[in-house]
Structure 1
């Protein structure tokens, strides 16, 4: 398993339980990948070191799986956004609409009102901007979506495909739960402890601070690779595009913003959001606070890749790498980086469990698993 994040841990554990001897390696000196958590030594706050990760799923089997290794505490993500010097609720809901337009609309009235201000001349939205204008109109788009999107993706929303805004989160009630899923929560002692427990098996050997090279493949029956797809091939066809994040960490004596996540929709504010990490563990009490200002920019060599861009040029290059990967005999590319897809944690775990099952079936049938269980 190349990578000690969720993909490597989940696949490795299932195959270890099936009797295989597993080596899990990671070039970082810790497990859990980007969902790594640790206690801040000055405040005692549990910090999401690479940015916040909130677990949410409708997959009951995945929910049961993570609760085998860590107690998940109730947590509802209630995001706020600052725009034009005012604070609003996200996703856009009935309270947001009434507050923004200084109205007291009922649900049906709000629905009709939004329809009246939406750009109904757009029949088939092709860009992010057209998608937003068609569903909420220019005022809400410019207040909550335009500036944030420019900062997050580094380009105009007119250059982004409508698919990025697959479903516009607008609710005509007062529900401010950011997610729709049945199961939502946070691991009581952090994701690091959970992943450590998943990897705690007598047949699993963990090698941290170890950078995998293709030359090592000969020593193994199969490689599950969750590092960057282009990195496996030493970027020989070029680099796939990603956005990365920079975090400006600061401390506050007390409660800085009163919520876990505060977005900033105005383009004049250089960061996309501020996260206050003690609010991700509301069952704990801390006098002092640890906060992150979050900045998005183009990923360069040596940076941590976060969000695959997947624009036309990247998709063309991705196809070339997929074709190159299909020539590999005993390597399967998995996870967010291995398949160049944005994946929530529950989907990563589901695909890990299913990939391990597929590998066991392929062994029983004496058939190769293939380079991708999920084709990117």
Structure 2
């Protein structure tokens, strides 16, 4: 097969994984990124003062049921066991999340068995809501007013900048309650943290003689010339110079502070009350429990509307945004020799494992297309 020249825009997981798989098949890969570092929002680095590994753009915890993805990341990192156990401060008390039997008993001052707790929550839920349409209705239907107002309402308003009554029920996809004492935040089969950090992992993925990387490099339209194909992981609306307007995102601000010793005794403490301006505090040394540090680095995390010079984190994907997205998708589908990838290129929130799985699939699709002389699609996933 003739070697192709490939340009990849973005040195995060999407670009790095696609680049690696194509490089292994003999293609020449050039990756550019406007930032001064690789790994995108998964970038981490050691704090100079404490030597704690800090997740610069907020914490990333690897969790998946996809064995192919788990095997892939284990080629490039030693994955250490890690279980995410989240706590929440509400009404002057600390509770365990997700809501579980301990939370229920503590909150309602009961000693319920699993069966008794199920009956209690069924009694608290609003059974008159038969077809929940909003996040608020979904929560009231399944957890009741007290738990909803304590754990969901204020946090959701802070996170999304709007009332839960305006958000779709699908955000609260399933009953967010466990009727046992399991406080493992994720249910996935494989969970862990890379021993030497995500930056080192991505560095390993990019370490191939057929891959070159240029950082602090902004993509320009003329960059497409001279390449057989482009994989673009930047914002879809930015590619078209925002000609229809900007797609809506939430962004995050982090207030970093350091302390001696231990600040909060856990990695993540949510603050569910609207009166507290931040959504959570993360203590980064707890993401590397195999290390010992005298000092500690913490982030207070604030969510707000994303503006022009901010880093986009969470796509809003409300009705108005989806109408705007349609316009950009229509433009994109007229393109050739380019594929939009990743969370920004497809305007979807993606966990790391899904990002990697989609990148592996995209690389497979491209290679199969070369063999069968099929055109590479502009999108390899449905994003409408």
**Structure 1 length normalisation: TM-score?**
0.99
The separation in 2 between residues aligned to 1:126 and 1:44, in whole angstroms, is 47
The separation in 2 between residues aligned to 1:187 and 1:354, in whole angstroms, is 23
The separation in 2 between residues aligned to 1:70 and 1:364, in whole angstroms, is 32
Matched, 1:274 2:281: yes
Quote the offset at 1:215 in angstroms.
1.2
| Match in the other structure for 2:290 | 283
- 1:166 is aligned, of 173, 181, 185, to 173
Quote the offset at 1:218 in angstroms.
1.3
- 1:230 is aligned, of 237, 259, 283, to 237
User: Secondary structure at the residue paired with 1:257?
Assistant: coil
The separation in 2 between residues aligned to 1:11 and 1:208, in whole angstroms, is 17
Matched, 1:352 2:359: yes
Matched, 1:249 2:287: no
| Match in the other structure for 2:89 | 82
Quote the offset at 1:375 in angstroms.
2.0
Quote the offset at 1:237 in angstroms.
1.1
The separation in 2 between residues aligned to 1:208 and 1:219, in whole angstroms, is 19
- 1:117 is aligned, of 115, 121, 124, to 124
| Match in the other structure for 2:5 | none
Matched, 1:196 2:203: yes
Alpha-carbon displacement from aligned partner over 1:172-207 (angstroms, at most 9, x marks no partner):
000000000000000000000000010000000100
| Match in the other structure for 2:49 | 42
Quote the offset at 1:40 in angstroms.
0.3
Alpha-carbon displacement from aligned partner over 1:218-253 (angstroms, at most 9, x marks no partner):
121000000101011111111000000000000111
Unpaired runs of 5+ residues, structure 2, are 1-7
The separation in 1 between residues aligned to 2:352 and 2:261, in whole angstroms, is 31
The separation in 1 between residues aligned to 2:145 and 2:226, in whole angstroms, is 58
User: Secondary structure at the residue paired with 2:75?
Assistant: helix
**Structure 2 length normalisation: TM-score?**
0.97
| Match in the other structure for 2:143 | 136
1:322-361 matches, cutoff 5 A: 322-361=329-368
Stretches (4+) displaced over 3 A? none
The separation in 1 between residues aligned to 2:361 and 2:164, in whole angstroms, is 36
Matched, 1:61 2:68: yes
Quote the offset at 1:328 in angstroms.
0.7
Superposed CA RMSD in Å reads: 0.5
Unpaired runs of 5+ residues, structure 1, are none
Quote the offset at 1:370 in angstroms.
1.3
Matched, 1:14 2:21: yes
The separation in 1 between residues aligned to 2:221 and 2:114, in whole angstroms, is 58
Quote the offset at 1:168 in angstroms.
3.1
Alpha-carbon displacement from aligned partner over 1:86-110 (angstroms, at most 9, x marks no partner):
1000000000000000000000110
